[in-house]
A and B are shown apart, each in its own frame.
Chain A
């Protein structure tokens, strides 16, 4: 087949890229407008004047935003650490140790991941209240870990399945224990799988909403998406604050996605591929 110039293809690609980006572009443009520009009618398409006031005032008037972002980081990091460590061990045992109950457990783990998070809320809230875990990092980290461990186990297990088993068998012959094999052979060989899983779990945790909303009831403990969602009052919609805070809260996710695009896509498709 001869090569024709593919204008049609480029037109469709450009259109898709445009549609993907325009809400974010509109958000960023809004965050650089002054109040009059934000509430102008007809809408001001380009910030006039272009101003950094919203960014300055969000740090002076809404210092809680930094706290929300910090909370999101702590919870995301804690949840990622637990799901990688414990999920990694479980995935290794279930995919490599030929346990009799392995298949059943894998299916069971997949099945519980279909629970709607809201169905956990009445009892989780009550239990966390009784245990003093409401408004604690420990509590929300555990909750997120429980939510995302099934994904991490499935994804890491599918990654381990791609590694040649001979090296581990040779190590066993040499009398190495399973823990040492896991730490010195499996971990170093499978770090790309761990990186991909970790990034996706971090994004999941950063974006998680219902449990973060209910288990963190104090303003100072809220995560970024929840804290920003609760800015709008009953009647007012303080878009100066919301747009600026949203830009700041999605930057970490955007950076991670941009840098690790390949790993994330690979991980998502591997995790969903069963």
Chain B
């Protein structure tokens, strides 16, 4: 670089050089494929290029509107999200308050809470599938032997129970993640606020609703965004727990899209499904971002 080049210019050039590789990979792996999915969804083509791309306009989207299985998957995805997120949030706040106390063995407790998060969803889902099993499963063993029920419960074979079972696995795995984010927020609340509250004779509950919760709004919203995005794109959980069954009662949008693309080998229709899913998630995140900006 020449010595006459201004510092500003040199900084800008270095900056571009440092940023470019990352942007390039993100563009190739995330942005370009999304654009390509949109293009695929408006056309007819074959996966290996043997049939050239032919524009068909909104044909696949029109078909999608009349596709009962798509609407079912959309409903399943929203139901799953609406059921699991409030439970995770409630438990997450509880766990965060718990971990904010000082007690012996806190490190171990924190580790235990982190474990479910660290396991691959696909594999812990297999463990749950085995515990739910109606012929050999742990839950049925306990329920039958303790006399709670007199015949095995078909956790994954009943449409409503299967959704409930799926929610339980999600809540078990990710409440801890909610808790960690909320705990970080909790630890940034100045101690003297609570002392002042105590001086004014606030009860524990008043302290929680009038000091803690309002100050946790930010972290709670962040946790909600991250977890909702995750819940809306859930894939390996139904893939490994129920394969979408029974009668598609647990078939999420991601799982339906995967099946259309790789089981029915309909890339173009599958692309339309993923584009709609992307739009749904995008709209949800806009709503959240709006809520975040107006949190005060």
- Using a CB–CB cutoff of 8 Å, the interface residues on chain A facing chain B are 6, 9-10, 12-13, 16-17, 19-21, 23-24, 26-27, 30, 38-43, 45, 82, 86-87, 89-90, 92-94, 97-100, 102, 105, 109, 111-127, 129-130, 142-143, 145-147, 149-150, 153, 177-179, 203, 206-207, 209-210, 214, 224-226, 228-229, 237, 239, 242-243, 246, 249-250, 253-254, 256-258, 261, 264-265, 268-270, 272-274
B14, B109, B180: the one contacting A13 at CB < 8 Å is B109
Residue B71, interface by CB 8 Å: no
Chain A residues whose C-beta falls within 8 Å of the C-beta of B95 in the assembled complex: 16
Residue B120, interface by CB 8 Å: yes
Known A92-B18, A118-B235, A203-B118: A210·B11 in contact at CB below 8 Å: no
Instruction: Bin chain B's interface residue count.
Output: 35 or more
Considering the chains assembled together, what is the distance between the CA atoms of A68 and B100 in angstroms?
39
Chain A residues whose C-beta falls within 8 Å of the C-beta of B49 in the assembled complex: 130
A93-B16, A123-B37, A146-B26 given. 20 additional CB < 8 A pairs? A24-B127, A30-B130, A41-B136, A90-B18, A94-B15, A98-B11, A116-B278, A143-B29, A209-B235, A224-B120, A225-B123, A226-B122, A243-B130, A246-B123, A246-B126, A257-B118, A268-B181, A272-B180, A272-B181, A273-B222
Cβ-defined contact, B21 with A90, below 8 A: yes
Known A41-B136, A209-B235, A257-B111: A121·B172 in contact at CB below 8 Å: no
Cβ-defined contact, B281 with A116, below 8 A: yes
Residue B144, interface by CB 8 Å: yes
A105, A129, A203, A265: the one contacting B23 at CB < 8 Å is A105
Cβ-defined contact, B233 with A118, below 8 A: yes
Chain B residues whose C-beta falls within 8 Å of the C-beta of A93 in the assembled complex: 14-16, 18-19
Considering the chains assembled together, what is the distance between the CA atoms of A19 and B145 in angstroms?
20
Interface centre among B110, B119, B135, B254 (most CB of A within 10 A): B119
Considering the chains assembled together, what is the distance between the CA atoms of A39 and B138 in angstroms?
11
- Using a CB–CB cutoff of 8 Å, the interface residues on chain B facing chain A are 11-12, 14-16, 18-19, 21-23, 25-26, 28-34, 36-37, 40, 47-49, 95, 98, 101, 103, 105, 107-116, 118-124, 126-128, 130-131, 133, 135-138, 141, 144-145, 172, 176-177, 180-181, 183-184, 219, 222-223, 226, 229, 232-233, 235-236, 239-240, 253-254, 257-258, 261-262, 267, 270-271, 274-275, 277-278, 281-282, 285
